[in-house]
Amino acid sequence: MSELYAVTSGDPAGIGPDISLKIALRDDSHQFVVLGNIDLLRERAEMHAMDVKFIEFDESILDSQIQKNTLLVKDFDLNQNVQPGVMDSKNGSYVLSMIDYAVKGCLDDRFSGCVTGPVNKEAIIKSGYAFSGHTEYIGKLCGKTPVMSFVSDQMKIALLTTHLPLKEVPAHITSERIIDVVNIIHTDLKNYFGIEKPKIGIVGLNPHAGENGHIGKEEEEVFLPALNVLNESGTDINGPYSADTILLNETGYDLIISIFHDQLLPLFKYANPHLTTNVTMGLKIIRTSVDHGVAFDKVGMPDINHHSLYHALDTAKSMATSYEKTKSDQS
């Protein structure tokens, strides 16, 4: 497998290009190929008064040529000139083309993984594409069922459902879905995080996990049958627990499953500001991402926070290392 990682620079009018420039400051910058318009990146470097040398990506380039303050760039053509901080749907296909290139490179083993910068869903949808989010889009490219998860140095959570209107969530929760998602998580925790015997917790859909059926029946009728099947198959999973207290306790779980997007995620991000990574499980490739949005109002500002990007880069590399070790141990 290649030791190169593709990094998409996200919406060209957002902070994705700005934070991508910070890769040049890392000692391992030679391992990352930034996907984006090279002239746009040069303009952002000037805005930030950064002295960055840009080298267009060529697979024949040697590591020794990529020194500090150097950025390796795969150049993509913009559809429309960019006004920093102003959304423009005309560049929707530009954003998707970078994702397509990164994912295909991973599937072809030209990249060890891909790290995605922030995109604006509205801009992509207005450009004429059906797009509910990176996770779902990349899942379709890979032909796999994606599971959105978030990783910090202290804890991991995964989502049973992703970008759904809240009123639609209950209809998407079935015993079969719980079993499928848990199996994906269990496999990836072993393969990509080196956890030999994962211990997983899951919260309920309803307040107090249904209070023994007094505040909803899903926990008893949907969750418990699924957990019984999983435990009988040898998967260590427990719950459903009340979502309002699960993160307050030292549970010892390697990962906790949240049922919908804004159930555990707000508290998780609050507890780990800028030091979390969005990881898509179930793809058979490594995909990590920053945990924040495009921040149009921050473009060109000196206080842009790049720590989530760095965390995503480090997480991708750590996952690749664990995967190679797991394959070696199995052979």
Q: What is the pLDDT of the chain when averaged over all its residues? A: 92
Residues 161, 79: Cα–Cα separation, whole Å:
33
Closest CA to 306 of 136, 148, 115: 115
Closest CA to 174 of 191, 161, 165: 161
Residues 179, 26: Cα–Cα separation, whole Å:
41
Residue 212 CB neighbours (<10 A): 9
The pLDDT score that the predictor gives to residue 62 is 57
18, pLDDT greater than 80: yes
Q: Which helix (H) or strand (E) holds 85?
A: none
Could you say which DSSP state residue 83 is in?
A: -
Buried b / exposed e over 174-196, threshold 16 CB at 10 Å, is ebeebbbbbbbbbebbebbbebe
Q: How confident is the model at residue 133 (pLDDT cuts 50, 70, 90)?
A: confident
Beta bridge partners of 295: none
Judge whether 296 and 6 are in contact, CB under 8 Å.
no
Termini Cα distance of the chain: 16
Q: What is the pLDDT of residues 157-169, one digit of tens each?
A: 999 998 889 999 9
In the chain, the domains with their CATH numbers are 1-148+277-331 (3.40.718.10), 155-271 (3.40.718.10)
What is the pTM (predicted TM-score) of this model?
0.93
Judge whether 57 and 36 are in contact, CB under 8 Å.
no
Judge whether 258 and 159 are in contact, CB under 8 Å.
yes
Residue 257 φ then ψ, to 5°: -95, 125
Give the residue-averaged pLDDT of 205-231.
93
Lowest mean pLDDT among 30-39, 54-63, 320-329: 54-63
